[in-house]
Structure 1
Amino acid sequence: MRTLQTTLAWVAEGTELCRKAVADLDEASYNEPSLLPGWTRKHVVAHVAANARALRNLMHWARTGEPTPMYTSPEQRLADIESGATLPAGWLTAWFEQSAQLLAYAMAELTEEQWRAEVLTAQGRTVPAGEVPWMRTREVMVHAVDLGTGVQFADLPEQFRAELRQDILAKRGSDTVPAIQGADADITAYLAGRPYTGVANRDGSPAEPLTPWL
């Protein structure tokens, strides 16, 4: 079972995976398609950077008690991604770095009591602030794979993959996901709606692909 300390460590590990994935991307490489349909690598990095800024709002909320939504509206979230995807490669990488560092600082400021403070996610769920590191972990880990620079689900921590599978099944609804078989990393990719290999239905027939999650 994951703990706050576990997820904070995963945030740092996932951030480093993203950092390494973008380190050598030039303008042309940044503009190549990601593993997410319709998104370039720039879109993915812009999303990760904007997400860090949004989650920092929740850290401010937990620390001060001042309601600070992640985004002013769904439209703002999309506009931030599209705007970020037009930035030059160097600027986009710098935004990713700055936003990740500022979020890390904000997380480090919270007391044990403040981690228990309730905040509101962009989907309207009321959660304790201690859930925010898990929200960020999913973003940096899964999107490190989405960048398509070589990181695979098999490279992600085994315990993280197990927690992610449970999370996805809970949100998708177990009745909507077929009974499948395969290696756990491949099953994780399948459940996340990402490219996968070696996953089949229990009767050996091909598994029906799922739509991207997250």
Structure 2
Amino acid sequence: MTTPEMHWWAEGELAVAGTVDRLADAELADPSALPGWSRAHVIAHLARNADALVNLLTWARTGVETPMYPSREVRDAGIDAAAARPPAELRADYVAACRRLAETMETTPADSWTAPVRNGQGTTVPASAVPWMRAKELWVHGVDLRAGLTFADLPAGFCTELVHDVLGLFATRGQAPEVTVVATDVDRSWGSGAARIEGPVTAVAAWLTRGDASDLRGDVPLPPTWI
């Protein structure tokens, strides 16, 4: 399967792997941008997320229901356990998990990509959503590592789709901000509110997913919680 989402996933794996490699072992215990999580927690989460997405592709291929995680509690415990490992073990775990996902992506049969599975929010989606799910995790959490990667570094095409995705999610919850959002660098706009917010699409993505409005112009409200 060749799609923009597959490209963004592959690019994201390379970008985040490089970011993790540049961190010294002593820096893994430092705080990430996520409250209560160290950088090690973010890396552990990305490793367990890779395994969770392997579960979804296995479900799609075999027809045997294999959820991402048995429960939220099991998910959280797995992240905590991996984050507590010595740095060398955590790094090896992360690399191995990413490799397992890549191998599964590459060997998933063409007719399995349309099979229905459930994402982490319990919504039924086709297996073809998995590359997009992983791309979002990689790029946004790559920024959360606070190790040099910023939203300004993210691909504009990815951020455009991310903005569309997040605003769509807010709309389904009845939480869409009552504003008009204009991405000035990609000639895209969303919403129809009287208040106008504008800036690069990477800055719009930073605002919607992490509440960072520093590179936007206008009366910018605090967005709803994403996921």
- Shift of the 12–53 alpha-carbon distance from structure 1 to 2, 3 Å rule, reads same
- Shift of the 158–122 alpha-carbon distance from structure 1 to 2, 3 Å rule, reads same
Match of 1:93 in 2: 91
Deviation at 1:200, TM superposition (A): 3.7
State the SS of the aligned residue for 1:181: strand
Given candidates 149, 152, 159, the residue that maps to 1:151 is 149
TM-score by length of 1: 0.90
Deviation at 1:178, TM superposition (A): 4.4
Which residues of 2 match residues 107-186 of structure 1 at below 5 A?
107-173=105-171, 175-179=175-179, 180-186=197-203
Unaligned runs of 5+ in 2: 180-196
Answer yes or no: is the 8 Å Cα contact 1:193–1:211 preserved in 2.
no
Distance in 1 (CA, whole Å) between partners of 2:95 and 2:144 is: 18
Match of 2:204 in 1: 187
Distance in 1 (CA, whole Å) between partners of 2:14 and 2:226 is: 22
TM-score by length of 2: 0.86
Answer yes or no: is the 8 Å Cα contact 2:198–2:217 preserved in 1.
yes
Distance in 2 (CA, whole Å) between partners of 1:109 and 1:161 is: 28
Which residues of 2 match residues 1-214 of structure 1 at below 5 A?
4-173=2-171, 175-179=175-179, 180-201=197-218, 205=219, 207-210=220-223, 213-214=226-227
Deviation at 1:193, TM superposition (A): 1.7
Deviation at 1:34, TM superposition (A): 0.9
Unaligned runs of 5+ in 1: none
**Aligned-partner residue type, residue 213 of structure 1:** W
Q: How many residues align?
A: 208
Task: Spell out, residue by residue over 1:101-159, the C-alpha distance to the aligned partner (whole angstroms, 9 max, x if none).
Answer: 10011111112211111112222111110011110110011111111111111211111
Deviation at 1:81, TM superposition (A): 1.2
Query: Which fold has the larger relative contact order, with Cα–Cα distance below 8 Å and residues 6 or more apart in sequence?
Result: 1
**Aligned-partner residue type, residue 147 of structure 1:** L
RMSD: 1.7
Deviation at 1:175, TM superposition (A): 4.9
Answer yes or no: is the 8 Å Cα contact 1:165–1:188 preserved in 2.
yes
Deviation at 1:209, TM superposition (A): 3.0
